[in-house]
Structure 1
């Protein structure tokens, strides 16, 4: 488990424990309404998340193809050097090795930049999906008079899981649904 995820879950558990203690005090006076939403399912199954994934694939397709082409050139050049290196003059072999080394450095740099850019854009798109989901969750909470809706929990009873309801509401509120 990544450290950030672990810390987020521990902090979520602490916040949840505090919130449940507060709700327990209110629950003595009246019945508290509690629900839970699985954020991971929202990010996997929602139409908005799927649209974001398609958008990212389209946005990064050309760079991915360029990287694949560069990897192919790198392999071809390496194979040529392996096959013909022994029969080449020392000068030609050194030039081919320098060319191979330069191409490999360029490939590694472009691959790293690609991954960084893709991760940044993915985080931006997923943050937008979660922001929309949080607005929908808040609307559901207000309409159905929930006292507490949690998104991170160790265990959630299917009885209080409203993830399907949130997915439906997100789909209904998406720009594509209004067309």
Structure 2
């Protein structure tokens, strides 16, 4: 009985490295795939278009601030102290409002950009899975995390083609 267990263990030990060696590994250049994705080109423009109205509002507020500053510089000497104080307070209020709205706009634009990029990454992920299964790869690694890989193991072009064909 001990001989059978020892023989079985020896057979399994010799087969394990062979099973591991049979694994097929591919690499992809994820950064390149994202950059070449059909929707990546217009991503920034789509984000800007989505918030164009708010950007225009911010520009108008900035112009108002410049006008107030110019009025204060031009007519400040002829104004009463109360008039100057009123304009200065309006400018401070406008600047605080601009900072608040500007920060919110920046955060919203960043969120929208991340959502758009997440869609791109999901499409690439589906394409990677499709190509890997079709080509019989067991593992797909990101090229930046690999010290070296033969170019024949790089499936980035095939993944990009799958993305362009709509997975």
For residues 122 and 168 of structure 1, do their structure 2 counterparts lie closer, same or farther at Cα, with a shift above 3 Å needed? same
- Once the two structures are superposed, what CA deviation does each residue of 1:127-158 show, in whole Å capped at 9, x if it has no partner? 11111110110000100011111125154546
RMSD value, Cα: 2.3
SS in 2 for 1:55: helix
CA distance in structure 1 between the aligned counterparts of 2:16 and 2:45, rounded to whole angstroms: 45
Number of aligned residue pairs: give it.
150
Aligned residues of 2:48 and 2:109 also touching (Cα < 8 A): no
State whether structure 2 residue 62 is matched by structure 1 residue 44: no
**Structure 1 match to 2:107:** 116
For residues 131 and 83 of structure 1, do their structure 2 counterparts lie closer, same or farther at Cα, with a shift above 3 Å needed? same
**Structure 1 match to 2:145:** 153
- TM (norm. structure 2) is 0.78
CA distance in structure 1 between the aligned counterparts of 2:89 and 2:117, rounded to whole angstroms: 42
- Runs of 5+ consecutive residues of structure 2 not aligned to the other structure: 1-14
CA distance in structure 2 between the aligned counterparts of 1:161 and 1:73, rounded to whole angstroms: 55
**Structure 1 match to 2:160:** 167
- TM (norm. structure 1) is 0.73
